[in-house]
């Protein structure tokens, strides 16, 4: 008889826990899981693993959730924009310029993706 595999221990992290807690708060504020889940843009299984703090979402996934909820990743994690402004200022980076540059890049990327998709469509 082959040996029984034991499940690997879950590797919790502060970031995973912060995201899980924040999603639970937003879920309550938005009328429960069934009302909130479609707003996140996530599949049900993905949402469950993240909200239990056992998922390991990529930064891109967190950005997609935040964007779907019309907030920044910082706000999604419960931080205020003022906190980010102060932290970036210490490094000599202007928060508003960074946000603007990221917005322009994202719009350009979406435009390029639309052009690429339209070229691939059969006539």
Q: pTM of the prediction?
A: 0.67
Tally DSSP H helices, then E strands, for the chain: 7, 0
Q: What is the rounded distance in angstroms from the CA atom of residue 25 to the CA atom of residue 22? A: 5
CATH 1.10.260.40 correct for 9-79? yes
Q: How far is CA 93 from CA 30, 85, 96, in A?
A: 34, 8, 9
Degrees, nearest 5: CA angle 21-28-25 = 20
Exposure string (b/e) for 28-39, b if CB count within 10 Å is 16 or more? eeeeebeebbee
Residue 95 · residue 81 · CB < 8 Å: yes
The C-alpha angle with vertex 104 and arms to 103 and 109, in degrees rounded to 5, equals: 100
pLDDT one-digit tens code per residue, 37-57: 999 989 999 999 999 888 888
User: Is residue 115 over pLDDT 60?
Assistant: yes
| pLDDT computed for residue 9 by the predictor | 55
| Average confidence (pLDDT) over 53-64 | 88
């Amino acid at each position: 008889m082959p040996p029984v595999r034991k499940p690997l221990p879950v590797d919790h992290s502060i970031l995973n826990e912060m995201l899980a807690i924040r999603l639970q708060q937003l879920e309550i504020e938005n009328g429960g899981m069934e009302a909130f889940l479609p707003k996140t843009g996530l599949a049900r299984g993905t949402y469950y693993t993240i909200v239990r703090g056992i998922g390991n979402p990529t930064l891109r996934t967190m950005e997609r959730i935040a964007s779907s909820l019309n907030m920044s990743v910082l706000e999604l994690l419960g931080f205020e924009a003022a906190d980010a402004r102060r932290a970036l200022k210490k490094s000599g980076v202007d928060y508003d310029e960074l946000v603007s540059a990221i917005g322009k890049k994202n719009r350009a990327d979406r435009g390029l993706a639309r052009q690429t998709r339209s070229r691939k469509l059969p006539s």
